[in-house]
Amino acid sequence: MFSPKLLVFAALAFAAAGAQAMSIRELRTLESNEKDGKNYANYYLVGVMEGLREASDADQRAGLKPHFCVNGRKLEPAMARSLFQTELTRNADNYEADMPVQLVLAAALRNSYRCSP
What confidence tens digit (pLDDT) does each residue in 87-101 have? 999 999 999 999 999
Q: Which residue from 72, 69, 76 is spatially nearest to 109, judged by alpha carbons?
A: 69
What span, in angstroms and rounded, lies between the C-alpha atoms of 32 and 103?
A: 21
4-55 pLDDT, tens digit per residue, is 454 444 444 444 444 689 999 999 999 998 889 999 999 999 999 999 999 9
Confidence at residue 117, expressed as pLDDT on a 0 to 100 scale:
74
Name which residue leads in pLDDT, 11 or 112: 112
Global pTM exceeds 0.85 = no
Helix (H, G, I), strand (E, B) or coil at 108: helix
In one-letter notation, the amino acid at residue 33 is: N
Confidence at residue 19, expressed as pLDDT on a 0 to 100 scale:
61
Confidence at residue 9, expressed as pLDDT on a 0 to 100 scale:
45
